[in-house]
Structure 1
Amino acid sequence: MVKVLIIQAHAHIEGSLSLTVAQEFVQAYQKAHPQDQIIMRDLYTQTGVPPLNDVTMRAWQKQKFDEELSAEEAQLLTQHEEWLTEFMTADKYVFVNPMYNHFLPAEMKQYLDLTAVAHKTFKYTNKGSVGLLHNKKMLHIQAAGSEYHISGKWGIVKFLFRKLFRIPSKESCALMDLGSLYLKSMMKFYGIKDVDALYIEGVDAKREQRDTILNQALEEARLKAQTF
């Protein structure tokens, strides 16, 4: 059975564009692939992502030297292992989030830190790190108030040209979406090469076009669900 893991990093608010589009994608995917299993991992639950804190570091140190763990340490490491296993055993990933200050929400970054484990999702070799997750695919659904990806490669060229000659401009481009670049980089680090994205952009810059932008994204979600 194919497992599709939906990793959602978004506050529970009504009218969210990324959540609305993600829900449409899931419904369309289930209809097109009724035999597949959908797993929801909400990073904004009350417990949140298992932390990488002092307790975690102390527990890993004890584990390394086969020392006895406290109840708190054992419970935390169990949570880490459960979340990591869930990630590793999935076949497809759908990351859902809003853009926060040109990056991902902190919870999403913490989730990626949790899943970046040597000898599990990647390994070190004398030629550098090698990803261990193969034959998997990823879709990134992200909403942003401005437009970053609509202009495509030409937008990047214009952005670099303006930077080179110090020409002032308020236009954005894909290079300013650091979160998307980071997420794709991490997927490549894990060995996941089949990556795609669905961006819902410009709803703040073009408020009068909000419904149009949303409807276009919903249609794109339905189309992507057919072949994902």
Structure 2
Amino acid sequence: MKEGVELEQLPEIERSKIVRLDKLISQFIQADKYIFVNPIWNFSYPPVMKAYIDAITVAGKTFSYTKNGPIGLLQNKKVLHIQASGWVYSEGPDVEEEMSHRHLKSILRFIGITDLHALFIEGHDQYRDRAKAIKAEGLKRARELAATF
């Protein structure tokens, strides 16, 4: 908001957006564990997930600027990132094309979260003959992670 402008002075539509964003960030800060689930779209995640990540990356709430640079304010939190893709991007020749997990990992470190676990369910389009097995293995690994997460 512009300096000197009070929430009450804004049009209703802007006030409601600010209130909604504040609820989202408060909800995020209060949680101890997070699960992000996404498909890969154009080497990254869908725009709605990017918008959510932008909404929770807020100076003074999830990170702070200091004379030595920014510091993350969220400590002792745990994240599981589950990502599905028809192609294999977590390893091999196309690893540099994957942007969502790398971006999420950077943002989480930026806001102070370093305990990140990942589950990639991928290759079911690239290896169509193994698609059912890939999905079954992904579900099995998800159950195992759920038991310890």
Q: Same fold (TM over 0.5)?
A: yes
Correspondence 1:23-102 to 2 at 5 A: 60-61=1-2, 64-67=3-6, 68-102=9-43
List structure 1 segments (4+ residues) > 4 angstroms apart after TM superposition: none
Shift of 1:73: 1.7
Q: Which residue is equivalent to 2:94? A: 172
| Paired residues, number | 147
Correspondence 1:98-117 to 2 at 5 A: 98-117=39-58
Among 119, 138, 144, the alignment partner of 1:217 is 138
TM-score by length of 2: 0.94
Matched, 1:196 2:114: no
Which structure's relative contact order is higher, taking Cα pairs within 8 Å and 6+ residues apart?
1
Unaligned runs of 5+ in 2: none
Shift of 1:66: 3.4
Shift of 1:193: 0.5
The one-letter amino acid paired with 2:94 is S
Partners of 1:97 and 1:218 lie apart in 2 by 15
Unaligned runs of 5+ in 1: 1-59, 156-170
Shift of 1:180: 0.8
Partners of 1:137 and 1:83 lie apart in 2 by 18
Q: Secondary structure at the match of 1:120?
A: coil
Shift of 1:104: 1.2
Partners of 1:206 and 1:145 lie apart in 2 by 8
The one-letter amino acid paired with 1:66 is V
